[in-house]
Amino acid sequence: MKIADVRRSAVSMPLTSPSYPTGPYRFFDREYLIITYRTDIEALRAVVPEPLEVTEPIVKYEFIRMPDSTGFGDYTETGQVIPVTFEGRAGGYVHSMYLDDEAPIAGGREIWGFPKKLAKPTFKVESDVLVASLHYGSVLCASGTMGYKFKKADHDAVLKSLLSPSWLIKIIPHVDGTTRICELVEYYLEDIELKEAWTGPAALGLFPHAIADVYKLPVLEVLSAVHLKADLTLGLGKVVHDYMQD
C-alpha cells in the first residue's frame, strides 16, 4: 500500500477494515428517557472542567434507544449530562456514556471525544411503566422508571432543549502515553423531527461500582422526567478550547 493509498483509506481504525463509515450520522426513531435530578453541587464542580461553568446542582440522566442509525446500527446507551454554561451560552456537558455497540463507541470517542464505555443498558416498556437500567457486567449500576405516557410534554420546550449546544472533552494519548490531544469540543443535534414527547412520575437509583461510577453524582431528589422520540442527525463538532495550549 502506497503512502497516498494510506491517506485515502484512513477513515477510521483499523486501516483496512474501518470500525465505522464516514458521517453524517442520521438516527431514526431515537427514543429518550431523561430523568432530571438534584445532586451535590461540590460533586459537580469536581468533574466539570473549566472553562465550562456549573450554574446549579442538576444532572440529566439519559437512557436512549437507537434502533436505526446510519453507520452505527441498533444499540442502547445511557449516561449523565450536566447543565453548564460556556461563554454565556447554556447547554450540557456530557460526563458519562455506557453502550452496547462497538462501532459508536469507536466513532464517538475518535471523532467527537464522547466518554463512551462498553456496558449493558436496557430500555423497554413493561405494562404501564418505562423501565431502563445499566448493568456493567452482572452488576446493576443504574435503574430508572417512568409512568408510560402520563401527560403530553411541552413540545416547543423539549425541542428547544434538544437544539442547545453540548460539550465534550476529547482526549487522545501519544504513543509514549503522554497526552497528545486534549480539547473541548462543541456539537449540536441537527435536522430534528420531534415526533412525540411525554412527561410523568419517575424514579432513579444509582449504585456504587468501581468502573461505572455514575453514583458519584448522587440522586438527592428527582425533579422531572421526559420521554420522547425523534429523528435527528448527530452534527460533527468543532474545537472551542485547546487545553494543550494553556
Span 21-59, pLDDT tens digits: 998 999 999 999 999 999 999 999 999 999 999 999 999
What pLDDT was estimated at residue 223?
98
**Residue 241: beta bridge partners?**
184
pTM: 0.95
Q: Quick check: helix, strand or coil at residue 111?
A: helix
What pLDDT was estimated at residue 11?
85
Collect all residues with Cβ–Cβ distance below 8 Å to 178 and sequence separation of at least 6.
none
Collect all residues with Cβ–Cβ distance below 8 Å to 123 and sequence separation of at least 6.
31, 33, 63, 64, 65, 76, 78, 130, 131, 132
Give me the active site residues, please. 116
- Ramachandran area for residue 169 (φ above 0: left; ψ -120 to 50: alpha; else beta): beta
Grid cell listed for 56: 446549579
Is the per-residue pLDDT at 9 higher than 90?
no
Is the per-residue pLDDT at 246 higher than 80?
no
Collect all residues with Cβ–Cβ distance below 8 Å to 36 and sequence separation of at least 6.
58, 59, 60, 61, 222, 223, 224, 225
The listed CATH number (1.10.3720.10, 2.40.400.10, 3.40.30.10, 3.30.1360.120) that belongs to domain 22-245: 2.40.400.10
Q: Which single residue is written with the C-alpha cell 431523561?
A: 34
Q: Quick check: helix, strand or coil at residue 110?
A: helix
Q: State the chain's mean pLDDT as an integer.
A: 96
Domain assignments of the chain as residue spans, ordered by start: 22-245
